[in-house]
Structure 1
């Protein structure tokens, strides 16, 4: 039985007295956070824009890098007076890359969740569906709101995720490599209302940073070291594994999923090799000795489980939906974990589970489907997007972060 982590933080993860920039992933002490002048607007006589060289270096372009200047100041309650024009501002910025640090992110406990998987694992599709579920059905279940922390998150979610997949029903393109430019994270504030039987309701907030990776960024250790520094800052990892990349699984559904899979000829894209490279990066951050389990909680999810469900026995835990009661059903969690573990061993992929158990102090196995059906010629299937248990990994992480209660209905 797993226990939720203490609210003060995850063992081995820096205290939230330090803020991790969600853009360059540098740790920042609160007193070193910069402020940015509000600038000129209408009749307001603020500072004129200047070229921000640090921001231009981060983005690789001077376009959009001419902004009101940043300055250092003690600040009180997240505000400071600009020394140039004297106007107060609450706009905060990272001292390293000069990207904005949203107030909600600075003022709430934060967790960076890295989405990792080989090419074609469905990372972008999963992010689109997960966020939509949290904003709607799952958010209602949890009595929670999910609000973007900045305009960039709002725009990127609409442009790159919601509009093409959920509105136009087009499959999302493969994530571009980090080598082509810096990746924009999605930064949200998740707030839950917790209602005790004998106490007044209270609101618990968690800043959530979601980051997806291109499959080719995990093909070599050199690229990983250069472009995926965020792995060293991640508070949790979600590994997405396409089961159709596992020969044992694909053999059972060959008729349902036409077309050859190329991954068998590309060992760099095999799930175990991808996870091993990420594990190496995490060990560098934590400084753990070989054989010492890493403290980062890891969720490993088999995607596209809708293709596999018909072949499973009717009593399989993967045929059941969650109870949807605003808690984590630990009996259900154990049953799904054991079912996925059994499937991996049946598919001659048991070494994946063995490796995770050797390298991580806490990992859990999941089966989910973001789309709920097989796509048709680059588009979502006729039934539309019908996610199945897509929220399970995040609910488990919220439990581990102390944001969600766990229960055992069976009394175990």
Structure 2
């Protein structure tokens, strides 16, 4: 009697769409016809109602989306027979960058209370990755789609670096249905003893207004990315912590306390709402790495003790300095206790297995009214949370000096 042999089906490789955050099996990725080229063959554009609903506007006129049984890098349109390499999400019909389907993507959710400086942080972090930090890590940062190129240029780089004016607050999702994530391919050259190798990951950054987390309907519709996130960066504005105001003076003091009666300015409220959403995915203590960063730390540095590690700039090593990382973490935890915000640390220890604290400044100095200060943009430790996450993603070595 022959024994039955059970064949194990190979596990499906899942891709998370960086636009609608739906998890799709790799063999279900769709394609969009390349359309008609000049007088040649190809499908005519037609209204794409699926993409229109996703973007919250009129249906754009585009060649049709189709599926194939075994998708590769290219596919042939069943209607016109023309070959195309334009891949698309079968759920929202957004175009999927070829690099995103090839390299493992990491979705980093950037969340913060109102006024914590999320947009400014994104603008400066990306600028540093393209320049100073990119050179240190021997890394390139390339946008994966035209929408990322346009959004970074129009909403971030031009006003902040070109016109030297502060960025406006992130608009709530109910008033900004077309807000897209920023999708970049980060590639590093890692030098080994015998030969070098390249490692890549797709970095998806999505910034969230604190108000978005208050409405369950909006959270369901626009914040599904939290369920797909590989890491979370919480930005906390220390100027809104009552215990920190005694250390402020001048312009910084005048800018503090403006959101004192707003529940969306309380970091515990924001972190609690995010945790509630993440619990729908995992039980027990959450394993997702969480970086908690005190933004605008420049306003508080004059009041810190002279030997504080937050007076010291990070030494560029091309790796994560673990001694420096632990020293900053310990210092910021102590400050949170001193500023009557120690409950943030206790709550995170109870709900997450991996979290760390950071102190940074995107601008490097208190702004003047609605403009960048006279000294220009001088970022301080703005890259620290991402370096720690790259270390957690095993894309960056850790060293002790």
Q: Same fold (TM over 0.5)?
A: yes
Confirm whether residue 22 of structure 1 aligns to residue 18 of structure 2: yes
Which position in structure 1 is the counterpart of 2:281?
Answer: 285
Confirm whether residue 393 of structure 1 aligns to residue 388 of structure 2: no
What is the CA–CA distance in structure 2 between the aligned matches of 1:73 and 1:175, rounded to whole Å? 39
| 1:6-65 deviation line (CA, Å, top 9, x unaligned) | xxxxxxxxx9920001111100001111100011232432110011111111112225x1
Confirm whether residue 366 of structure 1 aligns to residue 358 of structure 2: yes
Confirm whether residue 51 of structure 1 aligns to residue 47 of structure 2: yes
Q: How many Å apart are 1:228 and its aligned residue?
A: 1.3
| 1:174-224 deviation line (CA, Å, top 9, x unaligned) | 111111214201000000001012x21110000010000112212344543
Q: How many Å apart are 1:226 and its aligned residue?
A: 3.8
What is the CA–CA distance in structure 1 between the aligned matches of 2:116 and 2:304, rounded to whole Å? 21
Q: Secondary structure of 1:124's match?
A: helix
What is the CA–CA distance in structure 2 between the aligned matches of 1:367 and 1:337, rounded to whole Å? 8
Higher relative contact order structure (alpha carbons within 8 Å, sequence separation ≥ 6): 1
Which position in structure 2 is the counterpart of 1:121?
Answer: 116
Confirm whether residue 322 of structure 1 aligns to residue 314 of structure 2: yes
Change (3 A) 1:372 1:316: same
Q: Secondary structure of 2:281's match?
A: helix
What is the CA–CA distance in structure 2 between the aligned matches of 1:75 and 1:225, rounded to whole Å? 32
Change (3 A) 1:248 1:148: same
Q: How many Å apart are 1:256 and its aligned residue?
A: 4.1
Deviates more, 1:259-268 or 1:224-233: 259-268
Which of 187, 191, 195 is 1:191 aligned to? Answer: 187
Q: Tell me the number of residue pairs that the alignment of Structure 1 and Structure 2 aligns.
A: 389
What is the CA–CA distance in structure 1 between the aligned matches of 2:256 and 2:342, rounded to whole Å? 23
Which of 300, 303, 312 is 2:292 aligned to? Answer: 300
Deviates more, 1:233-242 or 1:68-77: 68-77
Q: Secondary structure of 1:61's match?
A: coil
Q: How many Å apart are 1:252 and its aligned residue?
A: 1.5
What is the CA–CA distance in structure 2 between the aligned matches of 1:203 and 1:101, rounded to whole Å? 22
Which position in structure 2 is the counterpart of 1:66?
Answer: 61
Q: Secondary structure of 1:237's match?
A: strand
| 1:284-338 deviation line (CA, Å, top 9, x unaligned) | 122x0xxx21010000000001111111111111111111010000000000000
Q: Answer whether contact 1:115 1:212 (CA < 8 A) is retained.
A: yes
Which position in structure 2 is the counterpart of 1:11?
Answer: none
Change (3 A) 1:259 1:385: closer
Deviates more, 1:381-390 or 1:249-258: 249-258
How big is the alpha-carbon RMSD for the aligned residues of Structure 1 and Structure 2? 1.4
Q: Within 5 Å, which residues of 2 pair with 1:192-271?
A: 192-197=188-193, 199-257=194-252, 258-259=254-255, 261-271=257-267
Stretches of structure 1 that go unaligned for 5 or more consecutive residues are: 1-14
What is the CA–CA distance in structure 1 between the aligned matches of 2:12 and 2:196, rounded to whole Å? 24
| 1:52-99 deviation line (CA, Å, top 9, x unaligned) | 111111112225x11000111135541001111111111011111101
What is the CA–CA distance in structure 1 between the aligned matches of 2:379 and 2:241, rounded to whole Å? 22
Q: Secondary structure of 2:388's match?
A: helix
Confirm whether residue 331 of structure 1 aligns to residue 300 of structure 2: no
Q: Secondary structure of 2:95's match?
A: coil
Q: Report the TM-score, using the length of structure 2 for normalisation.
A: 0.94
Q: Answer whether contact 1:186 1:210 (CA < 8 A) is retained.
A: yes
Stretches of structure 2 that go unaligned for 5 or more consecutive residues are: 1-10
What is the CA–CA distance in structure 2 between the aligned matches of 1:78 and 1:171, rounded to whole Å? 42
What is the CA–CA distance in structure 2 between the aligned matches of 1:313 and 1:222, rounded to whole Å? 46
Which position in structure 2 is the counterpart of 1:151?
Answer: 146
Q: How many Å apart are 1:260 and its aligned residue?
A: 5.3
Which position in structure 2 is the counterpart of 1:83?
Answer: 78
Which position in structure 2 is the counterpart of 1:176?
Answer: 171
Change (3 A) 1:27 1:98: same
